[in-house]
């Protein structure tokens, strides 16, 4: 604030400030830090694994006085193997806000409130993430609170029942979105035995039973909320030694329970083409999703990288496909083909939302997507296009990941859920750089075939 | 082109994001240098938006922004002319996704670039803004997309944004430029021509309405290019839209929006004279956080509706517009408005509890106005905000956006640091006095989005509508007692005065 008045003083003399502002390298950036020159992560970083297996990822980011934190748990709807318990990981995420052995839900929440923390959580197929931003000087309080709930969660049956209502509310909200019905239908059709067959929210019928599930949530907690299954990511204004000391003090004594995660039944190989049409209960544009089973995330080979580039070259906004069918013919309102990385073999969906002009062009559009798949297999990819997609991947990461500490923390947490070391970030881009035109065609021939295909069409109710 | 420097001040922001304004040359260009990160962020904001839409051209501001962005570019200097797809091909490898946001009074073109591509990306951004090709084929496409959105997305697909749009219409009345959504009306969009777009851009994408923000790695060439851009814009005719006053509501109203949704959503509020420039803003900021902090358990509404009664996913209150609250956790930038409203957003509950939720929210808001917040709420939320305010803008893009909004409101200094300081000095009495001044329960405009409007109308007009708790939800005795009072609370609108509107009619 003192500095501010000084500048005001200068300005009031009638000068407009046009000053080159030289940045010194403070902001807590210590000298004893390795900056790998070729790494995408140019900010100082450090990693550690506690004796109980809990993994720690620390990055210094120039967000003065603020730290983004994430606690990633390797549990998601993928782990909901028991019948009737779909959506449990997400339900459990809600219950994690309901208090501990020594703190009521209100008292627990009050710790965050008192310290002005913005915090939340989300659940996905492979992961549950508790995240937030906190003033650096209150980080100790938040790590202590997080350690408490991860080790000593406790709540009453009444609290569980109340939270069950909140989850049903969330389900109802989602149910008004045609995209959700698409996802629900697609997952169920594409997976026969694997738990990717239901969405992260779970089945409505199962959610209706949550009020009676008090006894069932505790084994789930012990199986998955264990130190060896958890990562802590801190990105922001931190000192490495102090941060690590805090994490050790709060999480070091946490022991792994005897209960082990349950085995997830693998999906047997898909050998048939599947399709289904559903009606949305109100008027809405027609949507088509054409999905193919694709490999689990991994950086051992270039397969995931090839898929990412395929999605960009053939279906992004600059693709020939969108040029013709969205922009020239005007048959499409939107196209999305973002490949989501998954722990087990996942689905790569090309999703189309048809425009008013395209509402009678379902068959042509489906065929057009399939024609693209054939093109990828049979005509060599344009090398300029491939290079452009490779450049985009890196440039997008440099801008989007680094624009805020929570974005960077999120990316680190996401990728270390698959491969638990900082270098996974670099391997992702190394593999992208390595992809050759032949890899693109090989991927398509292996995976983008009709026997691995599932198509869902959603049509709005005709009014 | 007017080459004269006018109102141009280069303002260099400090490293921690503090804004240093020079009173003698109000800044329209904000530069914040930060060499730690491998990127540069650009945000070019015009003080123009849907409030500038002419009569019978509702949607023009949005169509203009989109066509400027998506209609290709003409040659500018040594940069060649490009069609939309050609331009996208150039931007694609740079990951320079120029995004456009249009709200009531701001239109913003923003993009991030890696540090090494900063100069190139800015040149392309400048070409988009200063040499738009306005391709008629793209215009036709954009119009079709907008029409689809107005006929399908708005009325049918997002119950919650629909409810907010309806509340806005009811609060401001059909004659006010805030009454239509940013995408416009079907009739307005259909009537709009490329000539309208050209005229709108020529009149409003001008220096008087411009704020340029750049943050991150900024080299000398880039700094010079920013200056050239600012210098070469025409002066323009006005600095902002002239808005009529918001209607002064002397009575409550209830509007039922009929839409095909499973649950029932509740929205209520009224216009206020409060903005960030108001002396009472910090007090109302605290009050609003205590009452209904967005997507957080800090607020009273979240506690009594979700945590205790398990009625819905969340209930929040606002003193500034917060579009797309279902998607965003924290306040967006470039949604600044010169007129704001106090609003409450009750997310969908089951249809059978809709009546009870409306009664609860109308009653609780009345209680807030009459009794204010408690000493406990005041102290807790004050402490919360002192820690929370600084963390709301940890990212550099957000910090830049906030600085641009400060320029809009004429708020000098570091907005967040000042807000934090003022909040820390507030007293409980000041906050409750502000609530009395700005929350007017007699003026509540109420909107309910539901499928069976007849049933709702009967229920809300009856003497009593009780809450149905989910199987197994148990509430303490004092809550049951409170429920009895809520169940018979009169929302103050006669059955005959209840309006019913089909969702689609709001966008026609």
Q: What is the pLDDT of residues A245-293, one digit of tens each?
A: 999 999 999 999 998 999 999 999 999 999 999 999 988 999 999 999 9
Strands of B340-349's sheet in order across: B315-318, B340-349, B264-272, B445-450, B253-258, B499-502
pLDDT digits (tens, 9 = 90+) for A187-237: 999 999 999 999 999 999 999 999 999 999 999 999 999 999 999 999 999
Q: Which of B209, B206, B233 is nearest to B407 (CA)?
A: B209
DSSP codes of every residue in A322-334 = HIIIIIIS--EEE
Inter-chain CB proximity B398 and A404 less than 8 Å: yes
B17-71: pLDDT as tens digits: 333 333 223 348 999 888 889 999 999 999 999 999 999 999 999 999 999 999 9
Residue B91 CB contacts under 8 Å (≥ 6 apart), including other chains: B97, B98, B121, B124
Contacts (Cβ under 8 Å, ≥6 apart) of A273: A450, A451, A453, A454, A455
pLDDT (average), residues B420-435: 98
Give the tokens for residue A72.
């990633």
Predicted local confidence at residue A155, as pLDDT: 95
Q: Supply B152's token pair.
A: 């399908």
Answer yes or no: are the C-beta atoms of B359 and B486 closer than 8 Å. yes
Contacts of A117 in chain B (CB under 8 A): 387-388, 391
Interchain pair B395, A403: CB under 8 A:
yes
Mean local confidence (pLDDT), A422-434: 97
The mean pLDDT value of chain B amounts to 92
Average pLDDT along chain A: 90
Q: How far apart are CA A65 and CA A136, in angstroms?
A: 5
pLDDT at B307: 87
Q: Which of A62, A162, A330 is opposite residue B473, by nearest beta carbon?
A: A162
Report residue B46 CA to chain centroid gap.
Answer: 15
Q: What is the ipTM of this complex?
A: 0.84
Query: Minimal Cα–Cα distance from A113 to chain B, Å?
Result: 5
CB neighbour burial string for B384-403, b if at least 16 within 10 angstroms, e if fewer: bbbbbbbbbbbbbbbbbbbb
Do the chains contact at A355 and B307, CB–CB below 8 Å?
A: no
Burial (0-12, 13-18, 19+ Cβ within 10 Å), A267: middle
3-state secondary structure A349-386: EEEEEECCCCCCCHHHHHHHHHHHHHHHHHCCCCHHHH
Chain B interface mutation, best of A172, A280, A387, highest count of B Cβ atoms under 10 Å: A172
- Is residue A176 very low, low, confident or very high in pLDDT (cuts 50, 70, 90)? confident
Domain map of chain A by residue range?
45-251, 274-460
3-class secondary-structure state, position A111: helix
Q: What is the rounded CA–CA span in Å between residue A186 and residue A119?
A: 32
Residues A347-361: what's their mean pLDDT? 95
Residue among B36, B88, B90 with most chain A CBs within 10 A, to mutate: B36
Q: How far is B4 from chain A (nearest CA, A)?
A: 16
- Nearest residue of chain B to residue A324 (CA atoms): B85
Q: Alpha-carbon distance A236 to B332, whole Å?
A: 21
What does the pLDDT read at residue B15?
A: 31
Closest partner residue to B395 (CB to CB) among A16, A165, A404 is A404
CATH number of A274-460: 3.30.830.10
Judged against a pLDDT cut of 80, whether residue A3 lies above it is answered with no
pLDDT band of A463, cuts 50, 70, 90: low
Q: Which fold has domain A45-251?
A: Cytochrome Bc1 Complex; Chain A, domain 1 (3.30.830)
Provide the 3-class DSSP secondary structure of residue B178. Answer: coil
Average pLDDT over residues B346-368: 98
Q: Give me the pLDDT at residue B504, please.
A: 97
Asked whether B57 and B36 are in contact (CB, 8 A), the reply is no
Query: What is the DSSP pairing of strand A55-60 with strand A230-236?
Result: parallel
B413: phi then psi, degrees, rounded to nearest 5 = 85, -175
Structure tokens at A121: 């959580």
pLDDT band with cut points at 50, 70 and 90 for residue A106:
confident
Distance separating alpha carbons of residues B345 and B358, to the nearest angstrom: 10
Task: Find how far residue B10's CA is from the centre of its chain.
Answer: 27
CB-based contact A318 B14, cutoff 8 Å: no
Q: Can you give the pLDDT at residue A2? A: 30
Chain A residues touching B8 at Cβ < 8 A: 16
CA quadruple B430, B433, B437, B442: dihedral sign: positive
Mean predicted confidence (pLDDT) in B179-206: 97
Structure tokens, B331: 């306040």
User: Which listed CATH number (3.30.830.10, 1.10.3720.10, 3.30.70.20, 3.40.50.300) goes with B253-507?
Assistant: 3.30.830.10
Same fold for the domain at B10-232 and the one at B253-507?
A: yes
B312-322, pLDDT tens digit by residue? 989 999 999 99
Nearest-Cα residue of chain B relative to residue A316: B92
What average pLDDT score do residues A3-24 get? 27
> Domain segments of chain B: what residues?
10-232, 253-507
A132, A138, A143, A149: CA torsion to nearest 10 = -80
Other beta carbons within 10 angstroms of residue A358's beta carbon come to 21
The pLDDT of residue B8: 36
CA distance B477 to A206: 30
Is A363 in contact with A369 (CB distance < 8 Å)? no
pLDDT average, residue stretch B245-250: 96
pTM for this model (two decimals): 0.86
Whether A45-251 and A274-460 share one fold: the answer is yes
Q: Which fold has domain B10-232?
A: Cytochrome Bc1 Complex; Chain A, domain 1 (3.30.830)
Q: How many CB pairs under 8 A join A and B?
A: 277
């Amino acid at each position: 604030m003192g500095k501010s008045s000084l500048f005001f003083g200068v300005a009031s003399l009638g000068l407009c400030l046009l000053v080159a502002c030289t940045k010194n390298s403070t902001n807590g950036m210590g000298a004893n830090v390795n900056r790998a020159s070729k790494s995408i992560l140019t900010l100082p970083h450090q990693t550690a694994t506690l004796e109980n297996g809990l993994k720690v990822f620390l990055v210094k980011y120039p967000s003065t006085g603020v730290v983004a934190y994430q606690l990633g748990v390797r549990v998601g709807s993928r782990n909901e193997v028991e019948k009737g318990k779909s959506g449990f990981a997400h339900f459990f995420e809600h219950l994690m806000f309901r208090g501990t052995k020594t703190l009521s839900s209100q008292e627990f929440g009050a710790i965050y409130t008192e310290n002005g923390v913005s915090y939340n959580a989300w659940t996905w197929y492979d992961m549950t993430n508790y995240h937030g931003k906190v003033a650096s000087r209150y980080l100790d309080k938040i790590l202590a609170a997080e350690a408490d709930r991860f080790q000593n969660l406790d709540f009453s049956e009444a609290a569980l029942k109340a939270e069950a209502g909140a989850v049903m509310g969330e389900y109802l909200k989602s149910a008004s979105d045609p995209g959700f019905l698409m996802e629900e239908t697609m997952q169920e059709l594409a997976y026969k035995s694997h738990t990717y067959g239901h969405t992260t929210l779970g089945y409505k019928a199962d959610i209706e039973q949550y009020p009676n599930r008090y006894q069932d949530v505790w084994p789930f907690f012990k199986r998955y909320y264990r130190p060896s299954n958890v990562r802590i990511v801190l990105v922001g204004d931190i000192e490495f030694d102090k941060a690590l000391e805090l994490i050790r003090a709060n999480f070091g004594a946490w022991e792994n329970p005897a209960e082990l995660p349950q085995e997830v039944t693998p999906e047997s190989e898909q050998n048939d083409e599947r399709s289904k049409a559903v009606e949305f209960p109100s008027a809405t544009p027609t949507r088509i999703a054409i999905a193919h089973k694709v490999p689990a995330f991994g950086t051992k080979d270039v397969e995931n990288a090839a898929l990412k580039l395929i999605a960009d070259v053939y279906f992004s906004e600059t693709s020939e496909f969108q040029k013709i069918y969205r922009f020239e013919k005007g048959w499409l309102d939107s196209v999305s083909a973002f490949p989501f990385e998954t722990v087990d073999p996942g689905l790569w969906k090309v999703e189309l939302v048809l425009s008013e002009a395209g509402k009678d062009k379902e068959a042509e559009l489906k065929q057009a997507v399939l024609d693209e798949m054939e093109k990828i297999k049979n005509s060599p990819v344009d090398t300029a296009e491939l290079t452009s997609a490779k450049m985009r991947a890196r440039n997008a990461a440099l801008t989007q990941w680094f624009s805020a500490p929570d974005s960077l923390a999120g990316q680190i947490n996401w990728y270390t859920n698959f491969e638990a070391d900082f270098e996974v970030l670099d391997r992702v881009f190394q593999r992208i750089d390595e992809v050759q035109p032949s890899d693109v065609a090989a991927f398509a021939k292996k995976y983008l075939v009709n026997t691995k295909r599932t198509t869902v069409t959603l049509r709005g109710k005709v009014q | 082109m007017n080459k004269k420097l006018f109102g141009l001040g280069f303002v260099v922001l400090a490293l921690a994001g503090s804004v240093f304004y020079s009173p003698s040359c109000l800044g329209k260009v904000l530069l914040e240098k930060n060499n730690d990160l491998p990127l540069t962020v650009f945000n070019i904001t015009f003080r123009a938006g849907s409030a500038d839409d002419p009569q019978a051209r509702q949607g023009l501001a949005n169509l203009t922004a989109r066509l400027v962005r998506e209609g290709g570019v003409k040659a500018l200097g040594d940069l060649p002319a490009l069609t939309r797809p050609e331009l996208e091909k150039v931007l694609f490898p740079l990951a320079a996704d120029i995004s456009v946001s249009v709200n009531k009074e701001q239109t913003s073109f923003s993009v991030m670039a890696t540090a090494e591509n900063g100069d190139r990306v800015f040149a392309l951004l400048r070409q988009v803004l200063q040499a738009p090709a306005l391709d008629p084929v793209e215009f036709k496409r954009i119009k079709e997309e907008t029409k689809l959105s107005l006929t399908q997305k708005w009325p049918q697909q997002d119950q919650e944004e629909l409810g907010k749009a309806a509340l806005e219409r009811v609060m401001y009345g059909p004659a006010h430029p805030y009454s239509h959504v940013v995408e416009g009306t079907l009739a307005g969009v259909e009537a709009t021509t490329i000539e309208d777009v050209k005229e709108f851009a020529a009149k409003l994408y001008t220096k008087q309405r411009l704020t340029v923000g750049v943050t991150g790695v900024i080299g000398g060439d880039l700094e010079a290019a920013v200056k050239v851009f600012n210098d070469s814009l025409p002066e323009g005719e006005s600095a902002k839209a002239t808005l009529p006053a918001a209607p002064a509501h002397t009575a409550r109203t209830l509007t039922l929006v009929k839409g095909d949704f499973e649950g029932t959503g509740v929205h209520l509020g009224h216009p206020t004279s409060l903005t960030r420039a108001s002396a009472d803003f910090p007090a109302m900021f605290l009050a609003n956080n205590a009452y209904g902090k967005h997507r957080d358990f800090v607020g009273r509404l979240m506690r009594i509706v979700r945590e205790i009664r398990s009625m819905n996913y969340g209930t929040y209150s606002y003193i500034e517009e917060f579009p797309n609250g279902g998607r965003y956790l924290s306040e967006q930038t470039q949604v600044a408005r010169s007129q704001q409203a106090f609003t409450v957003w009750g997310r969908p509950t089951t249809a059978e509890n809709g009546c009870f939720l409306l009664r609860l929210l109308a009653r609780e808001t009345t209680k807030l106005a009459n009794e204010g917040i408690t000493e406990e709420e005041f102290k807790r939320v004050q402490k919360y905000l002192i820690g929370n305010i600084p963390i709301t803008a940890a990212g550099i893009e957000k910090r830049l956006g906030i600085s641009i909004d400060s320029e809009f409101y004429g708020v000098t200094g570091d907005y967040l640091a000042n807000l934090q300081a003022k909040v820390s000095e507030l007293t409980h009495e000041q906050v409750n006095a502000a609530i009395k001044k700005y929350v007017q329960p007699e003026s509540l405009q109420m909107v309910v989005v539901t499928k069976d409007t007849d049933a709702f109308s009967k229920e809300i007009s009856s003497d009593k509508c009780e809450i149905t708790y989910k199987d197994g939800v148990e509430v303490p005795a004092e809550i049951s007692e409170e429920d009895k009072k809520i169940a018979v609370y009169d929302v103050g609108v006669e059955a005959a005065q209840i309006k019913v509107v089909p969702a689609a009619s709001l966008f026609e």
